[in-house]
Each structure stands twice: as structure tokens, then as C-alpha cells.
Chains A and B, each alone.
Chain A
Amino acid sequence: GENVEQHPSTLSVQEGDSAVIKCTYSDSASNYFPWYKQELGKGPQLIIDIRSNVGEKKDQRIAVTLNKTAKHFSLHITETQPEDSAVYFCAAPVGGGGADGLTFGKGTHLIIQP
């Protein structure tokens, strides 16, 4: 099955600086890589995703990059703001084809320091 490793587990950055969270996956057949944000007391919400036919995708201050050769993908948040403080999860399809759902990383607690 798919194995997803996420780093770091905790990331503290100054407001206005950039934050980068990295994930690696094991199954080279995987082709869909979403990122979820979980705020305190809520369920995770999709913030951005990327498919294997593109190397980078941006949505305002958030971007995801994908390196299929190295089997890793990263979340980039620029100009961080207090509302970016949350737990972030990466995910990849179980078994490559995705029929069995998603495997999630263990999460990164992002702390934005004022």
C-alpha cells in the first residue's frame, strides 16, 4: 500500500514569512495529491490539489509543487497570516489507482508568530 511521510511535524514562522511543508510517497503509480487544512475543532478542508500531469499549481498565496521522479510534493504558503495557523495534511491515493481512497500524512502543525 501507499506510504506517505510528512515533514516537519511542527513549523513555526513569523507572520509575513513563507512556510513550506514536504511530503514523500512510495507508490509511483499515484497521480493525485491533495492538501487539507484542519482548523481547531473542525474537520479537514481541501485547500489545493495537484495531478501528475502538472508540476506546480498556484492559488493566491498557496502553491503545490510535484516531483514525480523523486516522489515528493510540497505545500508553499507565502506572506503567512494568523489565519494560516492550523494543522495541514498531505495525502496520496492508496494503491496508486486510488480505488481504496487516500492515505494521509501525519500532519504539520503550522504556527504563525505575530
Chain B
Amino acid sequence: QLQLQESGSGLVKPSQTLSLTCTVSGGSISSGIYSWSWIRQPPGRGLEWIGYIYHSGSTNYNPSLKSRVTISVDRSKNQFSLKLSSVTAADTAVYYCTRDATDGTSNWFDPWGQGTLVTVSS
């Protein structure tokens, strides 16, 4: 059974860079048909897709965050990572990693990691 687990710093100072890693177990991140996404949820609010990456390294970012986001993949460790630069309090959120499952035409997020809260504060 595929499982995802987020890890990284839970407290980041304003203007610094948020860094998170998602470790995939029970399957290979190099499976060609899937992409791997980061999604965030500010406390008490809705869900925002941040971006995805394929095992090849090809990425697609939400334009609202594109100038500050980098998603990378480490196939040898079966991990993918998120970096978000120049953070502010508005970036405080629970960050989830997930797989973009697909039937070749449509895709959906499944499964999800449990999420990790990142707080931006001095």
C-alpha cells in the first residue's frame, strides 16, 4: 500500500525558505504515469495546490506561487521536496504531499500524506 510522509521544519522565520520532504513508501516514485504534488491548507481554510513534479524532473507550478516555489525529486531516496522562499505569515499552513493518480486522461489526488504544520513566525 502506497504511503507518503512529510518531514521538515515546523517553524520558519519570515523572509526565510520553507523546506519540506515527502518520503514515498510501498511503491516507486519513478512509476512513469504518476506525478507528485504539494498542497497546502491554512488553518481553518481551504486547499491550495502548489505544484507537481514527475520522476523525470518535469514540473508544473501554481502561477500564484511560481516565483517562490521549487519542487525537486530524488529518485534514489524515493522522495520529492518542496522549497518555498521569502515566506510570510500568509504561508502558515498544513502542507500535504500526495500522488496524482491517473487513468491516462484524468487525475486525482490519492493517497495523501498526513500533513505537516509549518508556522511562519519570528
Q: Do A and B bind each other?
A: no
Binding site for A on B (CB under 8 A): none
Binding site for B on A (CB under 8 A): none
